[in-house]
Structure 1
Amino acid sequence: MLKVKQVSQIVGISVRTLHHYDEIGLLVPETTTEAGYRLYSEENLKDLQQILFFKELGLSLKSIKEIISNPEFDHRDALMLHRKSLEEKKRAIIQMIETIDRTLDAKEGEIDMTDKKHFAGFDFSEGEQYEKEARDKWGDKAVDEAKSHVHKQETKMAERMNDIYRDLATMRDTDPASQEAQQAIATWYEYLNEMGTYSLDAFAGLGEMYVSDERFKNNIDQFGDGLAAWMHEAMRAYAEQNK
């Protein structure tokens, strides 16, 4: 048996959160001592793992409680479905990274790429199968709630990206290698690394695409004429200055 503080340290969530889960009946400790200490069993930890998985999918605590309290809920089935989702995300991310690498090589004249190969990694049809399985197991309400959460997160990310573009557009008349410009472009580098992993060379290579690919250039220049070219120079300078 583990005390609440021990569970908190092992899992990395606060004691207050565990107390809250107990109070709402989501994760009730196996037992409570006469002194009032909550004691958690191995089964409690398994339930907690599932709770955190479902939270990651964007489900509310109320929906999670309904799912895991269902007599037909099966830990193994849930874990397998979570694993399928993560494997699909992993496959898509790996393919996108490979697509970026091939695109960078193509820009340097090392390989030829078809238009179709430029978009490898953007087919999420297998994700639809995962969604169907999730709906069958946990119901439309839980899945719709999760999708709504993801959509809100994507909207927030898009809004933040647009804000960064707007801020950079106000600086496009400055020297791209200046300290002020470099501090601004660092925000873009940090944002990209929140979504994935960009080395300094990859960052500079992405900047090259902003001027060599008309699609990139036209989209970015919507925020201000010449922004794509300015970002290209600023990103190249940032890579050189931070190596």
Structure 2
Amino acid sequence: MPDTTDADTDADTDTDTDADSLTVGQVSTCLGVTVRALHHWDEIGLARPSLRTAAGYRLYTAADLERLHRIVVYRDLGLGLDRIRAVLDDSTADVPGALRAQRTQVAERIDRLQQLGAGLDRMIDAHDRGLLLTVEQQAAIFGPEWNPDWPAQARQRYGDTPQWRQYAERSAARGPEEWQAVADAVADLDRALGDAMDAGVPPGSPEANELVERHREVFASYFPLTREMQVCLGRMYEADPAFTAHYDGIRTGLATWFRHIVDAAARAHGIDPDTATWQ
């Protein structure tokens, strides 16, 4: 007898067939399932063809096709093959109960997919906007000095950078309460920097270095900050009028003092502040 596992793909050409039966290839086309699946269902006894040709090819009768239709329907509903077998062959099987249980699982999957869709929408929005807060929420959280145009300006300036993508990923997971915690941490750090400058804390001292590390930790709320990147930020705080105004509004000269303590900490870690780059 020929090998009937692989030969059925050619069974359509066999002339020794029952006029009312279908070959594997014909059933595959009719039901939209693969020949491999039909072979597998035959091998595990889930849907065996009732007939064979003289050459050994599988032939499916109308009754076989009806069973296959039901298998396809239950499979598309998400039932596993063992569960399908029980539904079809066990006369005591609670078919409505099995379908209700499957309906519950489908509803749970739909809910998870809806949550995933909502998360994807937030992620897309965060990449486009940065902050997923209303103008009123931004003002309440970040204070009267906050300019609601800043996120859009940052997106235009940094939108193609890895840091913006990291920032967007963090932003997508935050609501007003989480952003309030970030704003509070930044405000606490600003006060600590001003107090340390007033106290005459020198750059390179343990107290100054601790503040530099604290700045990196707080800034990680936006994206991970390397020491070289922190040096670049220190330069920007001193050179950019908007940042200088913010820090000098806390203490006159604070932007320059902050740059000095960051540079000193960088040198302690083998980094030359004069050649540091954004990396």
Flag the structure with larger Rg.
2
- For this structure pair, what is the TM-score category when the shorter chain's length is used for normalisation? 0.3 to 0.5
Question: TM-score, normalised on structure 1?
Answer: 0.46
Higher relative contact order (CA 8 A, sep 6+): 1
**Could you tell me the TM-score, scaled by structure 2's length?**
0.40
Q: Greater share of helix residues, 1 or 2?
A: 1
